[in-house]
Amino acid sequence: MKSYYSHGKLLLTGEYVVLDGAFSLAIPTKFGQDLTVKPLEASKLYWNSFDENNSNWFEAEFDLSHQNISCNKNNDEKVSERLLQILKAAQSLNPKFLSNRQGFEITTQLEFPKNWGLGTSSTLIHNISNWANINPYSLLDLTFGGSGYDIACAEAKQPKTYQILLDGKKDIKSVNFNPSFKSSLYFVHLNQKQNSRDGIAKYRSNGSDLKIDIEYINRITQDMIDCDSLEHFQQLIDRHEQIISKIIKQKPVKELLFNDFNGSIKSLGAWGGDFVLVASQNNPSSYFKDQGFSTIIDYEDMILK
């Protein structure tokens, strides 16, 4: 029996523009997902996925006895089709993967709710890549797409700077991002899951020249890494929100939902859902709970460092 584990992800800076080469700050989370592989004699793939409460949210049976993998039964056709796509893409990258009709019992275990947006898909892609002995970025390209920062987080042990270079290569470096004011940072979930692919598609429809904006974001990212005061950090957050708002033509989340909040709020990843970063001198839990947002996580309880 073999087991693989990947960390979840948050993109603190550079959402959207990371796709066009922005220097971004990617943060692995303490929450992740593991995948366990147990060999079987039958030429079957029995797949069971469990959530953070150990409830079986997906199960399927795949037939490995023929040249092409096929699904015999499942409890969610959409998820099954996506998983089948991932397995076949993995085979295209490594033809030996699942080729000898050896069966397996597969179990995946999430450590976070699926609607948190911490990387149910990216952690799965990374785990399957390790199992299949293939490049996870290549598997991501063949399946979900995106910048790949989530894959960098999946295999990270600390925060990373992430940048896609002009030749398409990825510049990934470990960074000592451990703000002295981290006790004033919080993550608040907006009670809905945002589809990153939809957000990317909308961003891609913008034909503006982003060179100057990306240069601003690059400086903000470095300044946030170097920042040693909460007040300056909040100024950087606010400026970052203004720049991305202009690019994607959406109002910042604070303006939309929390206009009277005494602090700074920054969207993470695709705007409109998942977690936001809150920077506040005072504990903001009561404010957000009064607004109907009860999932509030302290910085140190979320971030792997």
Structural domains of the chain in order of their starting residue, each with its CATH number: 2-172 (3.30.230.10), 176-302 (3.30.70.890)
Instruction: Render the burial of 114-141: b for 16+ CB within 10 Å, e for the rest.
Output: ebbbbbbbbbbbbbbbbbbebebbbbbe
- 145 or 193, which is more confident? 145
Task: Please state the rounded mean pLDDT for residues 66-72.
Answer: 90
Question: Which amino acid does the sequence have at 207?
Answer: G
Q: What is the mean pLDDT of residues 8-14?
A: 97
pLDDT at position 175? 97
Q: What is the pLDDT of residue 51?
A: 98
Summarize pLDDT for 50-63 with one digit per residue, the tens.
Answer: 999 999 999 999 99
Q: Has residue 204 got a pLDDT over 90?
A: no
pLDDT of residue 272: 87
Which carries the bigger pLDDT value, residue 100 or residue 46?
A: 46
pLDDT at 2: 97
Copy the structure tokens of residue 110. Answer: 């999430």
Query: Which residues are bridge partners to 106 per DSSP?
Result: 37, 47
β 56-63/185-189 pair status: unpaired
Most distant CA pair in the chain, distance: 62
232 token code pair: 């300056």
Look at residue 259 in the predicted model and tell me its pLDDT.
96
Query: Tokens 């995948």 identify what position?
Result: 35
Query: pLDDT at position 194, please?
Result: 72
pLDDT digits (tens, 9 = 90+) for 226-269: 999 999 999 999 999 999 999 999 999 999 999 999 999 999 98
At residue 203, the pLDDT reads 76
What CA–CA distance (Å, rounded) separates 150 from 167?
20
**Structure-model confidence comparison of residues 158 and 208, the more confident one:** 158
Phi first, then psi, for residue 137 (nearest 5°) are: -70, -35
- Check whether 35 has a pLDDT greater than 80: yes
Q: How far apart are CA 125 and CA 79, in angstroms?
A: 14
Residue 25 near residue 224, CB atoms below 8 Å = yes
Question: What is the structure's pLDDT at 69?
Answer: 94
120 vs 88: CA distance, rounded Å: 19
Q: What is the pTM of this model?
A: 0.94
Average pLDDT, the chain: 95
pLDDT band for position 196 (50/70/90)? Answer: confident
Is the predicted pLDDT of residue 49 greater than 80, yes or no?
A: yes
Beta strands in 156-256 (DSSP E): 160-164, 170-174, 185-189
Alpha helices in 38-190 (DSSP H): 77-93, 120-132, 136-142, 149-154
Q: Output the pLDDT for position 201.
A: 74
pLDDT surpasses 70 at 207: no
Average of per-residue pLDDT across 127-131: 98
Here the tokens at position 164 are 């896609």
How would residue 101 be classed by pLDDT, with cut points 50, 70 and 90?
confident
Phi-psi region of 188 (alpha: psi -120 to 50; beta: other; left: phi over 0): beta
Tokens found for residue 279: 């920077």
